Chain A
Amino acid sequence: MKNTISERVADFLKAYPPFSNLLKAQLEKLSQEVTIIYKEKDSFVFKVDESAHIQFYVVHKGAVALWNKEEKAVLDICDEGDIFGLRPLMANENYRLTAKSEEETILYAIPIEKFRPYIKENRRVADFLVESFASNTRNPYDKSNRGQLLGDSFQSKTGNSSPLLDLQLVEFSKNIESASEQTTIKTIAQRMTSKGIGAMLIEKEGLPQGILTDKDIRNKIATGDYSITAKAKNIMSSPVITYPPKLTITQAQMAMMKSNISHLVLTEDGTVNSKAVGILSKHDVMLSLGNNPAVLVKAIKRTNTVQEIKPLRNGVMNLLRGYLEQNIPMTLTSKIISELNDACIKKVVELSLAQMEEEPPVPFAWLAMGSQGRSEQLLHTDQDNALLFADVPKSKFEATRNYFLKLAQIITKSLNTIGYEYCPADMMASNPKWCNSLSGYQKMTTKWIVNPGPDEVLLSSIFFDYNRSYGDKILVSKLSQHIFNTVEEYPIFLTHLAAGALTNPSPTGFFRQFLVEQDGKHKDFFDLKLRALMPLVDAARVLILSRNVPDISNTWERYEKMAELEPNNKELFLACSYATKALLRFRTKQGLQNNDSGRYINLEQLNKEEKMKLKRTFKTIKEIQEVLNVRFMVSRIL
């Protein structure tokens, strides 16, 4: 029977997944089965190898640490709302970890037999558990879970199969031109002409009565059926077809097809009895439809000026927002968005070349560096780029470089016009340092690899992720080959690069509190880029360089390649690949939400689930950093 205690338990549990996915009655029933357990500081809940209890635990107050087998390292700290001790119950095995209270703690113990039915019935509960087990086993790629975790697992709202356009809302004109029923056709036609519109809304007492379109004038006036002095009332189409303003493109298309009309009136509540808020034309629908990758790429290719690219970039952002909302897998999302970004850059280079008075004197390549080079730049961020041109005789070097510097200036300016900020560190091809011949770059990179100081390591970490956006392939692969050969000769460079990758401490060891910024503009914010993404990106670079694998610059693809090369570390590498994608998705979502780069996260805005996901990636970061430390003997140089 339900009582004050079980109500209190239910009230607490309902705020946390997976219980938040249960119905009220289910949760009430489950709560009656709960045992409330008080644990003083440093007391055991269970120990390694102990046989599984009949119940699993949720922390109500306080904190419980999970220790590894030797009780030497804390693997996780569970605090309010965290679940632990469930996996062994599901897997029918003994505890693999020791759970010990870090402070005075109150636990809710939930009998597994009372909970099991909900796992079977409720997909969201099951998904959550898979997700949280992944955080213990660290491997969301476990075969049995495969597919469930690729995207966001909490996606059942919309289902996976809905076509992309289905969810895209139409954009419509909010400037409504309207006239009264008594207005003459002549006046209306004059206004439509001066405003450049194809339809006029006819209103009476602020409510839509009818609509008058170009077609009405053609069919009813030009044919002579009505005089040009006729009133709007005589020839308007009435009643109007109205819809609520939150209409998807598909719905709008269907509506127009169904009634064979070219304009929909959108009203506050979707009926003719509320105020009109907008008019949607067939043309608007066609434009919205244009926000699909293939159409966008075509549109980008067709542009003749840089100014025309800018609005198309906005289309790319809309597309990105839609993809994230629909939880399209990150691999696909970033591929499409990178492709579109690439198309923009290619077009910019082409347009800039056209502005030059002469053809390029020698073959060249335009390289994207940093996050763009890694195809991990989804939001607009800074431009990091370089220009590589073929070797020329010494006497011609200055003239050649001057030509390309001029070109680079045009390109970087154009990129800025379409939304790429200038790089504050001036890592741009318009800087002579980043506009060089093949042998120039070879000399520079050799210097970095042979004498790696902190600056050299930093420069390599940006430059070595280059990716060709335009130009000569052979030049680029020659440079790559040079870098790999030199690294092989001077393996100490890898140790320095690894040390560089370890300079940003992983956010672990701060389980309960995220490591937040201590001062400055972003005080108390979590720096997602520096604390979480960069360590993974840096580690991937060192690893892939050490294995001599050219041509993969994307971080998760690097990890996937590593997993292929080292089957015994497969689990960790795949976890890294997954963590990178999860973090990038996170950053992009945050960026779109707050209209910034998404780098700094306000932790208070995160929900439990998001915090859990972040925390899970931290464990992976810590492990990969340990691997680097050991493999490249970083301690040797520290």
Chain B
Amino acid sequence: MALKKEDLPAFWKNYEASIKLGQPKTISYATFVVIDTETTGFDLKNDRILSIGALRLRNGEIKAKEAFEVFLKQSTFDARTVEIHGILKKGPRNRISEIAGMEKLLVFLKNSVIVAHHVGFDVGMVNQALRRNGLPKLMNPKLDTAILFNKSLPRTKRKTNGHYSLDALCEAFEIPKTDRHTALGDAYITAIAFLQILEKLKPASLEQLLKKDRFWEFWKPA
């Protein structure tokens, strides 16, 4: 059940307030949060988030200390995806509740621009988690590295569906695949790919960059 506006928790209200601040127009001053989720599966409705990794990117810099990494307790669990991300439902990591994870995430996100590979999926999963806890959807501007990558290629080489795996980006940018399939590891790879894509696109402003990304058009769940 969605909470009434006045019943929304303080952390949500703070988040909403920060969103209103917006982001500077100059790319090098803007704050991006590169995010990746590991989930029990690919179904937005029935699957759950097991971990979220995120890092903050400003002026081409990432501070190791500011990396965000949470592991969530979930009752839904799909043994098949364990093979991919290696996260067991009761793994050794410190697990927190979904709502506690959402609070931490919103505090970390603030008014940043969210960047993810197939951002619709990660944001969609987060939105579902927010909804289960009575909260509204994320309000940050979003960028999809799959789409931006497609745009960075010469026209003749672009794919019409804009679908590229993160592995394809690793190969294109010669990024080593260490830590692939951990949330923060994938977020890091995405961040490095994002920086190299920016270098190719050379957008004049944040607004122009956001325009290049119409992600919903391309995101179709597998």
A residues in contact (CB < 8 Å) with B: 3-6, 8-9, 11, 31-40, 104, 106, 109
Contact = CB atoms under 8 A, between A and B. Distances in A.
Contact of A36 (B64, B179, B199): B64
B162 interface: no
A32 B53 CA distance: 16
B192 interface: yes
Contacts of A5: 55, 62, 64, 67, 184, 188
B136 interface: no
Contacts of A9: 64
A535 to B, nearest CB: 37
A269 to B, nearest CB: 39
5 contacts: A4-B67, A4-B184, A5-B184, A31-B64, A40-B60
B112 interface: no
A3 B196 contact: no
Interface string B166-190: 0000000000001100111100100
Contacts of B67: 3-6
B195 interface: yes
Contacts of B63: 34-36
Contact of A106 (B53, B184, B192): B192
Contact of B184 (A3, A11, A31, A33): A3
A591 B53 CA distance: 51
Interface in B25-83: 53, 55, 60-65, 67, 69
B199 A32 contact: no
A115 to B, nearest CB: 14
A33 B64 contact: yes
Contacts of B184: 3-5
Given A3-B69, A4-B53, A8-B185, A35 B179 contact: no
Contact of A6 (B61, B64, B178, B182): B64
Contacts of B196: 38, 104
Nearest to B60: A38
Given A3-B184, A4-B53, A35 B61 contact: yes
Contacts of B64: 3, 5-6, 9, 31-36
Interface in B82-115: none
Contacts of A3: 64, 67, 69, 184
Contacts of A6: 64-65, 67
B166 to A, nearest CB: 15
Nearest to A39: B60
Given A9-B64, A35-B62, A4 B69 contact: yes
A461 B161 CA distance: 71
Contacts, number: 59
Most B CB within 10 A of own CB, among A4, A31, A35, A109: A4
A9 B53 CA distance: 16
* 6 A-B pairs closest in CB distance: A4-B184, A36-B62, A38-B60, A38-B195, A5-B67, A6-B64
A34 to B, nearest CB: 5
A4 B60 contact: no
A40 B63 CA distance: 18
B34 to A, nearest CB: 11
A9 B179 CA distance: 12
Most A CB within 10 A of own CB, among B55, B63, B64, B178: B64
A388 to B, nearest CB: 63
Given A38-B60, A38-B195, A40-B60, 12 more contacts: A3-B69, A3-B184, A4-B53, A5-B188, A11-B178, A35-B61, A37-B60, A37-B61, A37-B62, A38-B61, A38-B62, A39-B60
Contacts of A35: 61-64
Contact of A4 (B61, B62, B188, B199): B188
B60 A8 contact: no
A33 B60 contact: no
B195 A8 contact: no
Nearest to B182: A4
A229 B40 CA distance: 85
Contacts of B55: 5
Nearest to B202: A40
A29 to B, nearest CB: 11
Contacts of B62: 5, 35-38
B133 to A, nearest CB: 25
B164 to A, nearest CB: 19
A8 B62 CA distance: 13
Contacts of A38: 60-62, 192, 195-196
Interface string B192-222: 1001100100000000000000000000000
A620 B102 CA distance: 59
Contacts of A36: 61-64
Contacts of A34: 63-64
A566 B64 CA distance: 51
Nearest to A36: B62
Given A38-B60, A40-B199, A8 B65 contact: no
B65 A32 contact: yes
Most B CB within 10 A of own CB, among A8, A31, A32, A33: A8
Contacts of B199: 40, 104
A100 B53 CA distance: 32
A253 to B, nearest CB: 52
Given A37-B60, A39-B60, A106-B192, A4 B185 contact: yes
Nearest to A109: B61
A4 B36 CA distance: 13
A3 B192 CA distance: 17
A11 B179 CA distance: 11
Contacts of A4: 53, 67, 69, 179, 182-185, 188
A6 B192 CA distance: 15
A109 B64 CA distance: 10
A233 to B, nearest CB: 61
A100 to B, nearest CB: 15
Nearest to B68: A3
Contacts of A106: 192
Contact of A33 (B65, B179, B182): B65
B104 to A, nearest CB: 12
Nearest to A106: B192
Contacts of B60: 37-40
B101 to A, nearest CB: 15
A32 B63 CA distance: 8
A407 B176 CA distance: 68
A552 to B, nearest CB: 53
Contacts of B195: 38
